[in-house]
Structure 1
Amino acid sequence: MPIAVADIDLDGLDGDVLSFRCADDPHGPVHALVRLRGRPLGTVLGHVPPGADPARTVAALARRRLADHPEPPPETYRDLPRTTVVVATRERAGQLARALDSLLAQDHPDYGIVVVDNAPRTGATRELVRRAYPAVRYVREDVPGLAAAHNTGVAAADGAVLAFTDDDVVADPHWLTALTGPFADDPRIGCVTGLILPAQLRTPAQILLESHGGFAKGFTARTYDPARPPADQPLFPFTAGSFGSGANMAFRATALKGVGGFDPATGTGTPARGGDDLYAFVAVLAAGHRLHYTPDALVRHHHRETWQDLRDQAYGYGAGLTAYLTALAVRRPALLPALLARLPRGLAHARAMTAARGGTTTTAAPGEHGGQGHPWPRSLSRLERRGMLYGPLGYARARLRTGRLEAR
């Protein structure tokens, strides 16, 4: 059964409902983001009976389930840096328009947007931007691959901070302010990542992915400091997937350029299948910069809808993981001793991460959506592991192809 995705804002957990939004019929299963005066607090999954008031029902559920959650600390954003938002896209003009509408509605005082048209087959993206979004800069990158497109966006950007998101997201109006504020507060921060929640849960594939965590990293802000490795992450910094995802990330421009940008042999659109964001996270941390995660920087992601999409995604995640580790070994050999020292424990972690998972043993998404009894099929676990075996070969193929294309 489809699950309605809702957004409720409360004036404190015991306060009034300030707003309630739901794009679908809210009667039935509902997955709701709970905010306190605009700030994300957590998510809840519940059921709104026929004829019941959805806002009152969800508010009561939030008060019960999130009663022990501390309120977010006050925001102290000041002197927000000039920022460039980079959106790479390929032949998805309809989705891109939706994303650009949300990006142009940001409350950040000083930013620009660059759209990178990656290896286009038609002129649809160029025409959309020039006709409907004259304030957005359009650039083209003919070398296929997300990392190559992002590097082109970096070259076209003028911001002190470079933010990246995808063409299949809708950004919260406060997203860019929350994502860039930490750079002004801490000069040692080189990267900031944010919260990714589902835009819709209408198909079994979308529900299964979100039931096992989706892209969310929780509702607690956290700073990762290479000078003080976190005690709860013995594989730090190589478990880069715990830091965030490429659909919601920003870098201090000097930090990203200082590590050489993204590895063009990684990412969607290359034989490596992924890993471009993971490589950049670890490269920035290895250079001595801090990485900060903030749940205040929210985007809604349109999860893939079909079973085949999810199969492709599972294989790509596995391939991208080992492709990015191979990229680190090739491009940053100084990290190789630390990587090899963590290899035995890393292999055990990989086996556990790709194991078939039952509904009661999942890594829960924020709120209760992770405990809904949707088992992770063995077929997807096998695909993840096959992807991990393929990743180093995919990276090697991508390097060869990238070198040939750049030599033309």
Structure 2
Amino acid sequence: MQISVVIPTYQRPQTVGQTVRSIFAGDYENFEVIVVDQSKDDASRVALAGFMADPRFRYIKTPRLGASAARNLGIAAGKGEVIAFTDDDVTAEAGWLAKIAAEFNADAELQFISGALVAPEYDRSAGYIPEFTPFKGMTGWQLVLMAANANFAMRRALFDRIGGYDELCGPGGVLKSSDDGDIVLRIVRSGARWKGCPHIQVTHTYGFRAGALADTLLDEYDYGNGAIFGRAARRGDLLAAGWFMARETKLLLRGMMRALRGAGAPSLPRTRLAGFWHGFQFSPHENIPGAAELRSLGLTA
């Protein structure tokens, strides 16, 4: 089974090389790595120069912005039966691709895997590193809000069913974040078989955000999480929209109960609701490439 690994990168020449190096150092042989570089300069190309002659490596420079647009280009360019995604600031464990292949080989109906994004040791009082580990009994709704693009894998055929990444979502998109949540929501709602795999791990080696940067990132996560459910509502997925609104109501009521017990004023979900309304304003499938459009991207990648 060939696995195509797609890595979007933007202005991170100091880390993307380490990410690629960790994949090549693994114990699985049938793979290719596709780096889609949206940087303003050629520093990342220089950092990756040592891989350029390897037939398993492909470098795509594009003026298109947004992590979702980069992932769609990578999907289109990839040749593998399975497409794996990671980010340009992580380190893949040695068995990462072998474990992904084993899961898909063991279950012909399995369409999507969400692995663990592990944080290294750090001072949690000084900042924040995004992390996520799937857990037993996790629901699809929980996966939508928690899973991370840095450790995804899915069969190529799934994109024919649900389309590509929503280019309104994610870093560089107008809806700021949650490109991972959006595609997971569409996977879950399509009925495709998925699995959380805590034993498949990458480490968020360079993911630390301090102080105000951490606060901004968390606000963008909230905004994006609201936006993807607004998008779902506009597509007519009233179950998804209803689940989101019920969750927000429950969180607000919990906050009010704490306030009544003297634990402080309740936190209002303004950011998520603002994101919901923004996402709702776009047409249902705007900026989500279908199967034919993804194939056409492959002709120019």
- For Structure 1 versus Structure 2, the TM-score category normalised by the shorter chain is 0.7 to 0.9
Query: Is the contact between residue 265 and residue 398 of structure 1 (CA under 8 Å) also seen in structure 2?
Result: no
What does 1:5-404 align with in structure 2 at a 5 Å threshold?
A: 81-118=1-38, 120-135=39-54, 136-202=57-123, 204-206=125-127, 209=128, 214-218=130-134, 220=135, 233=139, 236-237=140-141, 240-242=144-146, 244-301=147-204, 302-330=206-234, 332-333=235-236, 336-351=237-252, 385-392=269-276, 394-395=278-279
C-alpha distance 393-342 of structure 1, shift in aligned 2 (>3 A): closer
Query: Is the contact between residue 266 and residue 395 of structure 1 (CA under 8 Å) also seen in structure 2?
Result: no
Query: Is the contact between residue 318 and residue 386 of structure 1 (CA under 8 Å) also seen in structure 2?
Result: no
C-alpha distance 337-303 of structure 1, shift in aligned 2 (>3 A): same
* Runs (5+) with no aligned partner, structure 2: 259-263, 288-301
Q: In structure 2, the residue corresponding to 1:247 is in which secondary structure?
A: helix
Q: Which runs of 4+ in 1 moved over 6 A?
A: 352-355, 396-399
Q: In structure 2, the residue corresponding to 1:163 is in which secondary structure?
A: strand
What amino acid is aligned across from residue 233 of structure 2 in structure 1? A
Query: Is the contact between residue 4 and residue 33 of structure 2 (CA under 8 Å) also seen in structure 1?
Result: yes
How many angstroms does 1:175 deviate by? 1.2
How many angstroms does 1:184 deviate by? 1.4
What amino acid is aligned across from residue 387 of structure 1 in structure 2? T
How many angstroms does 1:273 deviate by? 1.0
How many angstroms does 1:163 deviate by? 0.4
Q: Deviations over 1:276-307 (max 9, x none)?
A: 11111121222221111112211110332310
Q: In structure 1, the residue corresponding to 2:169 is in which secondary structure?
A: coil
Q: Deviations over 1:54-92 (max 9, x none)?
A: xxxxxxxxxxxxxxxxxxxxxxxxxxx210000000010
Q: In structure 1, the residue corresponding to 2:167 is in which secondary structure?
A: coil
Q: How many residues align?
A: 277
Query: Is the contact between residue 143 and residue 184 of structure 2 (CA under 8 Å) also seen in structure 1?
Result: no
What amino acid is aligned across from residue 111 of structure 1 in structure 2? F
C-alpha distance 99-258 of structure 1, shift in aligned 2 (>3 A): same
Q: TM-score, length-normalised on structure 1?
A: 0.61
* Runs (5+) with no aligned partner, structure 1: 1-80, 223-229, 358-376, 404-408
Q: TM-score, length-normalised on structure 2?
A: 0.81
CA distance in 1, matches of 2:2, 2:123: 38
CA distance in 2, matches of 1:106, 1:309: 32
CA distance in 1, matches of 2:243, 2:124: 38
Query: Is the contact between residue 256 and residue 280 of structure 1 (CA under 8 Å) also seen in structure 2?
Result: no
Query: Is the contact between residue 52 and residue 59 of structure 2 (CA under 8 Å) also seen in structure 1?
Result: no
What amino acid is aligned across from residue 153 of structure 1 in structure 2? G
C-alpha distance 329-340 of structure 1, shift in aligned 2 (>3 A): closer
CA distance in 2, matches of 1:340, 1:348: 12
C-alpha distance 91-133 of structure 1, shift in aligned 2 (>3 A): same
RMSD after superposition = 3.1
CA distance in 2, matches of 1:203, 1:337: 38
